[in-house]
Structure 1
């Protein structure tokens, strides 16, 4: 499509008036051109891109899965199902690729932001030579907005002081409402409005999913009311269905008993439906159960009801997410713009997540922090009805994840196989797509979304932005396939890589190698050259079920060489499967926001996540505050860190100073002072003397008031890895879910006055004893 009169240089230069000018405006002989509002070319569509999180190809009913998704089915019935659409196998890279039209290593997002290194493909800082799609659209007259999950901000830039260059609000989105990290508590999310942290609305039964839908609807209505001739680009990425699997109880009850047949039979049932729908080839074979997953028949009978309930909760969460996504679609219809809006409904940013382990988890923090043994069958049965609610931070067992990637091998994190990278995608645009309810089998990748939108909006891909020459968009527009089901594929070559799991697709052939299983992240990584490569002819073998590597070594060698060429072209090298080196900012070579051994907090400093606060894990430390106690006494949080998933706090309870430690939401220890705090100004302190001799050990606690000992006690077990990827450190209140359940004020708001609080670290840090692979595995649970 020609781009008439569209500049390839952004921003578009202002054109000053150069003609003759009159002295008096009342006697103008020259007619000045009117001021005009910036608009894209006539006919540019509204665009809504919906991206769900951690949903496998075989989950949605729109693609044969067990989870009812009426909105997806509705859009598919009026539009197109793309059956061979691919992501990067993990969240930050997929999102960066989607919004840039370039491969994830090309934009510095070879992995999650928490593991950034100075290597060009892994910096997590998007180069200014790869301007993202929303900025291109904004500068061409679109209104732009994002609602939901980001996870593209470098961790050292994720604090309240910025810089904000890589935040949505400075990456082309005029409106952002959502969360910055890889996950958030759906009941008490770590919300950001623009670049400002905000608390969730204080309403009974609040949940993030309807809130995001509400905000998207409000935005679109306002945009169309005030500027109906101006198109919008709205990116709706709610973060569902990532951990935690939180959903209202009444939605869970709809699914009771649905998954008692287990994951093996679920795969068979899904596979049959997929063939009926035509979303897999008629001669497709169901792949074998991936290595490391138990057969359902081998699962202990007393565990099966627990595992089934985990899946019921997940199904409810996915159905709930689709329902509220449907409210956004309904709003477009009510405004009369549904048919004129190009909609991408991408059902997952990667395959289903295997991060819950073999038996799932009630609190996902237990997996990395050594508390899994506390989640006994008796514990599960006692707390089973809390799954999905605010007292759990739950994730299902990886057998369900594999079933939800039917018919493919493996899951999320595995970029080598389609279980990690193939996601059902729906395109809906009745105004220009004549086909209804059809299936498209053309091979595509998430980098193809941006060039498709630019083509359909008749906006040129910029050659230069702000004086910087741009790296060309690497995706291929999908528009050619909209009204031609038999069109020849145009995306014919695509590499994949994630932590050494790698593959290459080329003209129907697929070569791939599994370097590291997501089911065993603690396994010692072996040399890359020792990896075993597989070969598949996907023109005949839809699901990568029949390895031809032994029969066709020459073809395999050809594709291995092509993978290496693509890897060099796109900044994949050096491949990096290291653990400790990438998790330690000093060794990895990335900045940290807070340095040194002391952090002072002042009123208003709240929800400082663990990337922007000092780490007190595996060492001695003290926490001190200057407070003023009124005559009525005090209650509430003074300095706290973490939430229900784990953390600690210097608090006041029943008028007394106390130190509280919450281990993974499973063991709570409170050390309370011997006497009530007297009225007036005081300096209060808790000293935690770590036992040493390893990580995750206990320690002795001593409380002080004005320098005098005021009580003491003991904590037997502490977090070696992390408290939360969602909660943070607070002064004067306990934002999000509480660390301490004994507050008498909302959110633990301190009833006295706090001048300042301070955390000081001891010199006995034992973090160097953390196993490198365990540290990496902990981070991988939350991307």
Structure 2
């Protein structure tokens, strides 16, 4: 609202007895407005948590559910960025231009990934009404061309997103032991190392608690809105062994028996109705008995690690809840816990992975069962990037069909939600009304006694498209008000209307290669009456063709209304910024960086599938030099130019499968030196080899050949850094955290050659696979 000062008497002298001005009143929301803690974890299915009948122990979620409300028909969008954008805006994901993840944005309406200013985010609205606002954890809503430390920051959590404080990571995933972090808009290092027991889950809780204590000390009269979004339980599934070991024996019978056990517990808890049928195994997934007996111990350990990861996540969320309670604020705090931004992830292939970047680069055949068997005891530890087999994801979505990415079926879209607010919710229990992630903003505003704004910062606003759930607080069996909702993700689509769903699956999440997809009009639609068939187990399309046609028409109406059209299932085109119509951050064929600079891989000039050179003027001390001059990537893959035992060295890490080291014959002499590496790409395709030549002061000092290179991405979260290799190390010859260059570096310049257009198209298609697998 505009600041308007009414004119009145103005004295010449402030000592004038008639001099009077109203005291400054700090902006505050209504007196009874609650504090708000909004929690959303990552990649968790409806059947995972113990609070909803699953095998993963979640005592914090159980505790809050026991004194609050469990919502059993709550839905997300089936994918990360769209769910989060809908959550924070109160609109459908296409309405805020987040039709898919940010990395595959196009210039089409609904797909640009840039939230329009006509749809102000919930934290901005709350901040403008006097709330203290903070986000801790994952943010995957920033357009990719705005993700560098130079901004612009219009779509970052702060300042553009309405949060006054942010600590976390920008992107789809990060390493839990070596995370890539920002505090507000400044890159920061993690507070510890794996050797010291560090995990990101613990630091996130520490940061949240510190923020709550600052607020209590400085502005206790100002309620808080905290959005707490762990990177867990997204791959890589990283957790110390003591958490995973708690689940010894739990998964030994395999995923088929697990589904049966989960179903029985869900019925006992009432999180699904009695008589619900278990859906058939999704097409393409193997039965447990079909798996090689030699591989089963690895598969079991994958599930143990994931369950331990979820329990650890729940524990640290509990620490934040405990802090709120210790401050005496628990009764007056509205806590909303959404247990997953989509269903469990089936992006780990049919056998799982030790290094997900191998599969995401399109080379799953390189990760053999024998490799997985040999590495079983390393799962979840530093130096891995592990993911479980797709069938575990399907089991953890019990009782539904399909998984994350599949917006047509509840396995992709139905997630547990708990609301806890003792001061307002007097009748705890289970709520079966339909809900959607776009309902949360309206729910929070009604709870806070604040109106939905018609204008924010002078811009007229589009109305919210969700429905407040406050009406369900007092009446367990009240008729649902959110009675129509479309779904669409990557061509998978569906619509809900008053208990009926019409759905069609267009693509399969674990098929990551060059998949030939059918025309949209050739997709087979299914029909379910979910008022009686709660799990979508019985297709009624043949029995009720008129009802199916009615709902197909309704889907099209909703799709046109909310910018879903045109449906876009392209891969290679969406991987090429110029063809997709979006800006590109790393442009040109040359980039100069200076000591201390650390950029994300996506913001560094591309050295893949082409020749490149790295040049650096350095100073070698009289005692000799050691350490990293420049490194790109981490333990999952990358390259590094460094000095080892006095000699100039280049290491190419091919996805941990092969380390190629090229070294100068002689020790670097003291003084000012120019060091250079030239990589001559073999050409003729993507991911091929190349010749490495090292130079010192213009003279060749070493050479070697790299057999294969990484075609699309080295890692999901590592950086390109000058003067050190932070995070996990690219090379095995230097330790993590203790590899800073001991000499001087003036600058480092990367120059790259041209890409063949055909190779570029193939590389972009592979980058789409990486983006989808790491979101």
1:114 pairs, out of 89, 94, 103, with 103
Q: CA deviation at 1:744?
A: 6.0
Alignment partners' CA distance in 1, 2:437 and 2:522: 30
Does 2:183 correspond to 1:177?
no
Q: Which residue does 1:222 correspond to in 2?
A: 214
Alignment partners' CA distance in 1, 2:284 and 2:121: 39
- If the length of structure 1 is used for normalisation, what is the TM-score? 0.97
2:770 pairs, out of 751, 759, 778, with 778
> Could you say what the CA RMSD is over the residues aligned between the two structures, in angstroms?
1.2
Does 2:253 correspond to 1:261?
yes
Q: CA deviation at 1:282?
A: 1.1
Q: CA deviation at 1:255?
A: 1.5
Q: CA deviation at 1:371?
A: 4.3
Deviations 1:633-688 (A, max 9, x none): 11111121100010011111111111100011221111111111111111111111
Alignment partners' CA distance in 2, 1:106 and 1:28: 57
C-alpha contact 1:22 1:28 (8 A) present in aligned 2: no
Alignment partners' CA distance in 2, 1:31 and 1:293: 77
Q: Which residue does 1:293 correspond to in 2?
A: 285
Please give the residue correspondences for 1:370-381 in structure 2 after superposition, counting only pairs within 5 Å: 370-381=362-373
Query: Comparing 536-545 with 196-205, which one deviates more in the overlay?
Result: 196-205
CA pair 426-122 structure 1, distance change in 2 beyond 3 A: same
Does 2:466 correspond to 1:475?
yes
Alignment partners' CA distance in 2, 1:511 and 1:291: 19
Alignment partners' CA distance in 1, 2:389 and 2:738: 32
Q: Which residue does 2:229 correspond to in 1?
A: 237
Q: Which residue does 1:92 correspond to in 2?
A: 81
Q: CA deviation at 1:586?
A: 1.3
Structure 2: gaps spanning 5 or more residues: none
Query: Comparing 253-262 with 47-56, which one deviates more in the overlay?
Result: 253-262
Does 2:573 correspond to 1:581?
yes
C-alpha contact 2:615 2:749 (8 A) present in aligned 1: yes
C-alpha contact 1:515 1:528 (8 A) present in aligned 2: yes
Q: Which residue does 1:692 correspond to in 2?
A: 683
Q: Which residue does 1:54 correspond to in 2?
A: 43
Alignment partners' CA distance in 1, 2:369 and 2:345: 23
1:309 pairs, out of 301, 319, 336, with 301
Does 2:676 correspond to 1:681?
no
Q: Which residue does 1:197 correspond to in 2?
A: 187
C-alpha contact 2:41 2:338 (8 A) present in aligned 1: yes
C-alpha contact 1:369 1:696 (8 A) present in aligned 2: no
Alignment partners' CA distance in 2, 1:415 and 1:427: 24
C-alpha contact 2:626 2:645 (8 A) present in aligned 1: yes
Q: CA deviation at 1:768?
A: 2.8
Q: CA deviation at 1:249?
A: 1.6
Q: CA deviation at 1:333?
A: 0.9
Q: Say which SS state the counterpart of residue 335 (structure 2) adopts.
A: strand
Alignment partners' CA distance in 1, 2:41 and 2:149: 27
Deviations 1:466-493 (A, max 9, x none): 2211110100000000110011100000
Q: Which residue does 2:709 correspond to in 1?
A: 718
Deviations 1:536-561 (A, max 9, x none): 01111101111111111111111111
Deviations 1:71-103 (A, max 9, x none): 000000010100000000000000000000000
Aligned pair count reads 770
Alignment partners' CA distance in 1, 2:34 and 2:361: 49
- If the length of structure 2 is used for normalisation, what is the TM-score? 0.98
C-alpha contact 1:733 1:748 (8 A) present in aligned 2: yes
Alignment partners' CA distance in 2, 1:180 and 1:73: 30
Please give the residue correspondences for 1:393-542 in structure 2 after superposition, counting only pairs within 5 Å: 393-436=385-428, 438-522=429-513, 523-542=515-534
C-alpha contact 1:241 1:317 (8 A) present in aligned 2: yes
1:39 pairs, out of 22, 28, 43, with 28
Q: Which residue does 1:188 correspond to in 2?
A: 178
Does 2:558 correspond to 1:566?
yes
CA pair 744-147 structure 1, distance change in 2 beyond 3 A: closer
Alignment partners' CA distance in 1, 2:192 and 2:309: 22
Q: Say which SS state the counterpart of residue 648 (structure 2) adopts.
A: strand
Structure 1: gaps spanning 5 or more residues: 1-11
Q: Say which SS state the counterpart of residue 735 (structure 1) adopts.
A: coil
Does 2:663 correspond to 1:672?
yes
Q: CA deviation at 1:746?
A: 3.4
C-alpha contact 1:262 1:296 (8 A) present in aligned 2: yes
1:763 pairs, out of 738, 743, 754, with 754
Q: Which residue does 1:284 correspond to in 2?
A: 276
C-alpha contact 2:34 2:448 (8 A) present in aligned 1: yes
Alignment partners' CA distance in 2, 1:519 and 1:29: 77
Alignment partners' CA distance in 1, 2:326 and 2:217: 13
Alignment partners' CA distance in 1, 2:470 and 2:232: 28
C-alpha contact 2:361 2:766 (8 A) present in aligned 1: no
Alignment partners' CA distance in 2, 1:202 and 1:230: 32
CA pair 48-745 structure 1, distance change in 2 beyond 3 A: closer
Query: Comparing 245-254 with 739-748, which one deviates more in the overlay?
Result: 739-748
CA pair 165-687 structure 1, distance change in 2 beyond 3 A: same
Alignment partners' CA distance in 2, 1:418 and 1:764: 42
Does 2:127 correspond to 1:135?
no
Does 2:643 correspond to 1:652?
yes
C-alpha contact 2:45 2:411 (8 A) present in aligned 1: yes
Alignment partners' CA distance in 2, 1:64 and 1:720: 42
Q: CA deviation at 1:373?
A: 3.2
